[in-house]
Amino acid sequence: MSVYLLEECTETEKKLIEAAKQATKNAYARYSNFKVGAALLLENGEVITGNNQENAAYPSGTCAERTAVFFAN
């Protein structure tokens, strides 16, 4: 397994990491308290974010990546 330092990331990668971190602020993780954010970079340069959304009727919540893909469509 490789370890990557933030200093080694490109500016685009840093932008995506920051967008994913910001997306965690809107996550709904009432049960696990584990907030996750995801960021997608579209071909046109647009950044789409998503976050995890938990539901009491486990496992009907959605992961951050799926939420981001949903908003990209």
Backbone angles phi, psi at 70, to 5 degrees: -60, -45
Residue 26 CA to chain centroid, in angstroms?
Answer: 10
**Secondary structure (3-state) at 47:** strand
54 is annotated as an active-site residue: no
Residue bearing tokens 């981001």: 68
| 59 token code pair | 């496992």
Candidate list 8, 11, 46, 65, residue with the active-site label:
65
Write out the catalytic residue numbers: 65
